[in-house]
Amino acid sequence: MSDSQPFAYLVTIAFGDREAPILATVVYLSEQTGEDAKSVAEALVTNAANSSTQRPCFQWATLKGQDNKTFSTEELAMLISAAGQGKIGVARVTPVKLN
């Protein structure tokens, strides 16, 4: 892993009931520029539980649901587990500039 500045993305994810999914956003840090929904979805399955010292990684502390809802530790653990099993969809990936 390099010590270069990571590329940050705001990722919108969908999970839960397929008919009425819960939407949430989370920050994703990558060493790659030009991440898209497919590449982030693949990383979600393989790197969901990564710690913040590794890249690529999801900054789960930044996870926010609809209406700025925060998730409990138990809900977050279930969400990360579901992500590792590919049970979460990636709806949108938006590059974010870090200052």
**Averaged confidence pLDDT in the chain:** 86
Residue 53, pLDDT score: 63
pTM for this predicted structure = 0.84
Number of domains in the chain: 1
In the chain (99 residues long), the average pLDDT of successive 10-residue segments reads 78 88 91 92 82 74 91 88 87 88
Residue 5, pLDDT score: 80
Cβ(32)–Cβ(38) below 8 Å: no
Residue 83, pLDDT score: 85
Q: What is the DSSP code (8-state) at residue 27?
A: E
Q: Is residue 2 part of a domain?
A: no
Residue 32 identity (one-letter amino acid): Q
69 is in which domain, residue-wise? 7-96
Q: Is residue 1 part of a domain?
A: no
Percent of the chain's residues with pLDDT above 90: 37
Q: Is residue 62 part of a domain?
A: yes
